[in-house]
Amino acid sequence: MKKREEGGLGLPSATPARIRLGVVLVLLSATGFAAKGILAKMAYREGVDPATVLDLRMLSVLPAYLAGIAWFGRARPESRPGPGRADFWKIVLLGLLGFDFSAALDFEGLFRIGASLERLVLFLYPTFVVFLSALIGRRRVGLREILATLLAYAGLAVMMAGGSLSGPGEREGVFLVIGSGLFYALYLVGVERIVRRVDPLYLTSIVMVAATLALLFQSLLSGSFHPARADTRALLLIAAMGLFSTALPTFFMTMGIAAIGASRAALLSFFGPVITLLMAWGLLGERMTLRSGIGALLILGGVGLVALGGRREEVRKSG
């Protein structure tokens, strides 16, 4: 009988223990990412602009990722050598896509719309993951996935129709977050392929350092970095965002993808928007209308069906 290949954590790729570990890591990651919008909106209320919030967030965790490069680079097993030149530049590009371009668009969009709407719109990214994975792998997308995607986009249309968005600023915010989701999907698909060859924690550290340096360079060049505007409360909020909604979730998500794959991770991330909706209601006072509630259910249902379809395809291929 053929021996199973080992994954990024050195565990057999299909053992129940590995799957359980991956599930827990992705759920923890989804919870941390869910709190990001809440903390960012609270920092905005302190008078800090999106670019500064994003830059301070990334700076607050830069030491952790630099330490990660040193630690995981030294501790990686012989079976998982460091990335070659080609993989290294792919990893840097992924960092720019997933945590530079994507993050910048997301924070600008979040400045214009509510945290609950931002999380629901960003949650469309699994539809991008499934179709991008199909495009790269030349896999035929099933009718179920197409209909489920249309259902999710119908939910977004319901939320945007009938004057639900008060002005062009909010509509622009929605489109910015959609762009963020597309870049994040590109990151996830790329990571799933490279993480088979490179230790996931080492990869994440390189990705985040590259993204942080790029963001700081862009902000300094454009003059959009204003740390003096952040008071003590804002700094504490941003530091909490850096630890609980950036550093830990990114490590957990990468490890989770290595354990269970991008499509399964996308399905489990279903948990995140629900947590965001509850926190936005409890901490920010955001209320959901009947129209918005229907749209949210359509998005959650459609994305859940899309991600479930992607997961079944993975199971079929591995079976």
How large is the average pLDDT for residues 90-99?
88
pLDDT tens digits along 6-41:
444 444 455 888 888 989 999 999 899 889 999 999
DSSP string of 83-144, one letter each residue: P-HHHHHHHHHHHHIIIIIHHHHHHHHHHHS-HHHHHHHHTTHHHHHHHHHHHHHTPPPPHH
How far apart (Å, rounded) are the C-alpha atoms in residues 269 and 265?
6
Whether 82 is in a domain gets the answer yes
Q: How far apart are the first and last CA of the chain?
A: 14
Query: Which residue is listed with tokens 């607050």?
Result: 60
Q: How many residues does the chain have?
A: 319
| Amino acid 289: pLDDT | 83
Question: Domains in the chain: how many in total?
Answer: 1
How far apart (Å, rounded) are the C-alpha atoms in residues 179 and 112?
14
Please count the CA atoms within 13 angstroms of the CA of 37 that sit on its side-chain side: 34
| Amino acid 6: pLDDT | 45
Nearest to 32 by CA among 265, 249, 278, 273: 249
How far apart (Å, rounded) are the C-alpha atoms in residues 56 and 174?
24
Residues ≥6 apart with Cβ < 8 Å to 223: none
Q: Please indicate whether residue 236 or residue 168 has the higher confidence score (pLDDT).
A: 236
Residues ≥6 apart with Cβ < 8 Å to 1: none
Nearest to 43 by CA among 106, 100, 110, 99: 110
Task: Name the H helices within 45-101.
Answer: 50-75, 85-96
The amino acid present at 49, given as its one-letter code, is D
How large is the average pLDDT for residues 83-112?
88
Domain of residue 273 covers 20-318
| Amino acid 133: pLDDT | 80
Flag whether pLDDT at 165 surpasses 70: no
List C-alpha distances in Å: 132 to 13, 139, 171, 183.
Answer: 23, 10, 25, 11
* Predicted model pTM: 0.82
Flag whether pLDDT at 78 surpasses 50: yes
Q: What average pLDDT is seen over the chain?
A: 84
Flag whether pLDDT at 158 surpasses 70: yes
Position 305 confidence tier, pLDDT thresholds 50, 70, 90: confident
| Amino acid 5: pLDDT | 44
Please count the CA atoms within 13 angstroms of the CA of 295 that sit on its side-chain side: 24
How large is the average pLDDT for residues 86-111?
90
| Amino acid 170: pLDDT | 87
Contact, 185 vs 124, CB < 8 A? no
Whether 6 is in a domain gets the answer no
Q: Please indicate whether residue 179 or residue 204 has the higher confidence score (pLDDT).
A: 179
Among 49-58, 161-170, 175-184, the range scoring the smallest mean pLDDT is 161-170
Among 4-13, 17-26, 114-123, 160-169, the range scoring the smallest mean pLDDT is 4-13
Whether 172 is in a domain gets the answer yes
Q: What percent of the chain has pLDDT over 70?
A: 86
Whether 251 is in a domain gets the answer yes
Q: Please indicate whether residue 41 or residue 128 has the higher confidence score (pLDDT).
A: 41
Whether 2 is in a domain gets the answer no
pLDDT tens digits along 220-277:
999 999 999 999 999 999 999 999 998 899 889 888 888 887 767 767 777 888 889 9
Whether 42 is in a domain gets the answer yes
Among 9-23, 157-171, 188-202, 293-307, the range scoring the smallest mean pLDDT is 9-23
DSSP class of 292: H
Among 29-38, 53-62, 69-78, 111-120, the range scoring the smallest mean pLDDT is 69-78
Whether 220 is in a domain gets the answer yes
| Amino acid 223: pLDDT | 92
Whether 7 is in a domain gets the answer no
What H or E segment, with its residue span, contains residue 42? helix 16-44
